[in-house]
Amino acid sequence: MFFYIPELTLWHLHSLSSPGSYLAGLPSWPATPVLCAEVVLHSLGVIAIILQLHSTLTVFLQAVMCNPACNVLVTGASGLLGRAVCAVLRKAGHAVKGLAFSRAGPGLIKCDLTDLEAVRLVIEKEKPNFIIHTAAQRFPDVVETQYEETRILNIKSAENIASLAHQIKCKMIHISTDYVFDGTSPPYKVGDKCNPLSKYGLTKLESEEAVLAAAPDACVLRIPVLYGPVERLEESAVTCLLNILKSREPKAVSHHDQRCPAHVRDIAHILADMIALIAKGQNLSGIYQWSGREKLTKYEMTLTMARVFSLPHDHVTPSMDASPLRPYDPEMDVSRLTELGISHHTKFEEAIKECLSAWL
């Protein structure tokens, strides 16, 4: 933003700082039409400067008021989504602290979320305005074999965080999943009946209920399968498909289940927009949903990767077998967010090239 500011002379400054009228600061020269015109011009110049400075200050204050910085605590900050959330929120000007446990690296607070007392101490110390709860066991196959341990992390920990957040009047946004639906009647609205097919989906549904019972003003954000800048290809159910292309070994990939993948950066921007609205006083609570705006099977995702990176794919074949643990088509209605002006989607072909170029 650039401004033209007329030159200020010592005479202007003396006149502005002296008591009395502007004219009282003028030298006692004879009043002539020329002198009067000069006085008027100088006066208009000073007034223009004052108005311009006032306008600039007003714009600055409005920007600050519209985007107030908040203290945000992010759980699961070492994970695929957590890393993106921390990065986007910091870029938006928020003070962000990240919690992690098994992969707690530099700049992160190590905290076992299943240790309820440890979590309480961290929250009381950090005093966040917002808690974004991304941490969970999110791999359905793992949950099937580690169900009781998963219930503690996915349900009990979420309930505990919600209760602590509510006590200190901190807004919690809890991340959930489209796996709460059975995939038979898309697109699913927020109030549609849930019917999870897997123990993973069940733990996330029960976590939603526990969070909203402990903190009725909390938000739940249901999201689809995610991908983004991974630390290892297996970190995402999408990016791991690149291993199939690289291996050159014959492989059948699902062409049955429909997915609406979302880039983690898009989800992070959605969360940032939600925080901005809440910080400005808008009342957001209850369940919100986001699905990527493209519907693809894993086989179609694999072919897209092959096309983007010019990789052979004749060893990859489509499978029409249904998975008993995964919904056929869990596409969700996103209108509750779009009605707030919140919508972020990066085209899959562009985003997957960005994410995976370094792995080739």
Of 236, 228, 354, 348, nearest to 293 (Cα)?
A: 348
**Mean pLDDT of all residues in 50-54:** 58
**pLDDT band for position 45 (cuts 50, 70, 90):** low
According to the model, what pLDDT value does residue 32 have?
A: 59
Taking 50 as the threshold, does the pLDDT of residue 191 lie above it? yes
The more confidently predicted of residues 16 and 296 is 296
Give me Rg for the CA atoms of the chain: 28
Q: How far is CA 294 from the centre of its chain?
A: 19
Find the helix or strand (DSSP H, E) in which 167 lies: helix 157-167
Domain boundary assignment for the chain: 70-359
CATH architecture of 70-359: 3-Layer(aba) Sandwich (3.40)
Q: What is the C-alpha separation between 299 and 296, in angstroms, rounded?
A: 8
Q: What is the C-alpha separation between 344 and 269, in angstroms, rounded?
A: 7
Q: What is the C-alpha separation between 165 and 128, in angstroms, rounded?
A: 8
Taking 50 as the threshold, does the pLDDT of residue 245 lie above it? yes
Mean pLDDT, the chain, rounded, equals 88
Taking 90 as the threshold, does the pLDDT of residue 92 lie above it? yes
E-strand ranges in the chain read 71-75, 95-100, 108-110, 130-133, 171-177, 219-223, 226-227, 251-254, 262-263, 286-289, 316-319
According to the model, what pLDDT value does residue 52 have?
A: 65
Which sequence positions are flagged as catalytic? 200
> What is the pTM assigned to this prediction?
0.82
DSSP string, 248-296: -S-EEEESSS-B--EEHHHHHHHHHHHHHHHHTT----EEEE---SS-B
